[in-house]
Amino acid sequence: MRPPLRLAGLTKHYGGSAVVDGFDLELEPGRCHGLLGPNGAGKTTTLRLALGLIQADAGTVELLGHPMPARARLGRQKVGVVPQVDSLDPDFTVRENLQTYGRYFGLSGREIEARIPDLLDFAGLAGKADAPILNLSGGMKRRLTLARALVNDPDLIFLDEPTTGLDPQARHLIWQGLRRLIGQGKTLLLTTHFMDEAERLCDVISVMDRGRVIARGSPRELIASHIEPHVVEVFGDGLAEWKACAGDLCHRCETAGETLFCYTDAPDKVVAHLEGRPALRYLHRPANLEDVFLKLTGRDLRD
């Protein structure tokens, strides 16, 4: 089957430097693909290139079989977009927002009206069709933005940080919705700064930095191939002194703020040593995607 999105050698320069630099990507239909990277890595620019909103300096984009941006209108016909910042019209009701958006895709008022109950049901907004946008909570607006992205029954959905700024309850509702979409066979391309979100939802993840892919695989593959399986986080009084022993007890140590991260495949040795230091506190846990991300992209702030 044809990939819903194919990017080959994609390159874009701003101010003389490449912010997307020879980027290749082929999405598999019916899968959720994550695009992770620190701020400024080039994720949003990649999404904008993929949607044909900006022109690449080199490389090609094929969106649902259409070359972009040459056939942008056709390419985007069966694509849904959840942008980073909600762009709902605050002067309109929920229904009017869906109606306006649906018309961009050439849908008739009657066609959109027929879809509204399902869309609102999906978004947990049943009964809110006539509510003004100003009366909705942040979580409701985000869910409406997701519902709006589905108005044209898309095959491929771009989600740019869909849960940023939401509380845990609202995030879980969005995740439930996204899993339903994956279950229906939709293809998702998701950017997020939440590694737990990527780990839960994504089948394949591309880690991006400085415009390039620096690692790709399923969450499990990335963890297995880039990082030791166990982490012991150590903090508390006497850490500075204990650090001197840590190097002999584990494979790799990293300091972040007041915590020492000990990466190892033999955590018992580290934990046994810590048992003799009651002033130190520790947390032993399996390595996760965030550990991989920090190892690959570093712990320094990017903006």
Cα–Cα distance, 137 to 119 (Å, whole number): 18
3-state SS, residue 52: coil
Helices then strands, counting H and E runs in the chain, come out as 11, 14
We find the least distance from the C-beta atom of residue 36 to ligand ADP, in angstroms, to be: 9
- Contact characters 230-269, ligand ADP, x per CB under 6 A: ----------------------------------------
Count CA atoms within 13 Å of residue 7 on its CB side: 25
Query: Residue 234 and residue 220: Cα distance in Å, rounded?
Result: 25
Q: Nearest approach, Cβ of 155 to ligand ADP (angstroms)?
A: 24
Pairing assessment for the beta strands 32-36 and 280-286 based on DSSP bridges? unpaired
CB-nearer residue toward ligand ADP: 162 or 267:
162
Residue 279 in tokens: 């002033």
User: In the set 44, 97, 163, 297, which binds ligand ADP (CB under 6 A)?
Assistant: 44
In whole angstroms, how close is the CB of 9 to ligand ADP at the nearest point?
A: 17
* DSSP string for residues in 147-181: HHHTTT--SEEEEESTTTT--HHHHHHHHHHHHHH
Q: Look up residue 216 and give its amino acid.
A: R
Query: Is residue 40 a contact residue for ligand ADP (CB under 6 A)?
Result: yes
Does position 34 bind ligand ADP by CB under 6 A?
no
Total residues binding ligand ADP (CB under 6 A):
11
User: From the list 37, 80, 162, 219, which residue makes contact with ligand ADP (rule: CB under 6 A)?
Assistant: 37
Tell me which stretch binds ligand ADP (CB under 6 A): 13-21, 62-70, 123-131, 140-148.
Answer: 13-21
DSSP β-bridge partners for residue 228: none
Comparing CB distances to ligand ADP, the nearer of 74 and 294 is 294
The answer to the question of residue 50 lying near ligand ADP (CB under 6 A) is no
CB 146 within 8 A of CB 177: yes
Binding site for ligand ADP (CB under 6 A): 14-15, 19, 37, 39-45
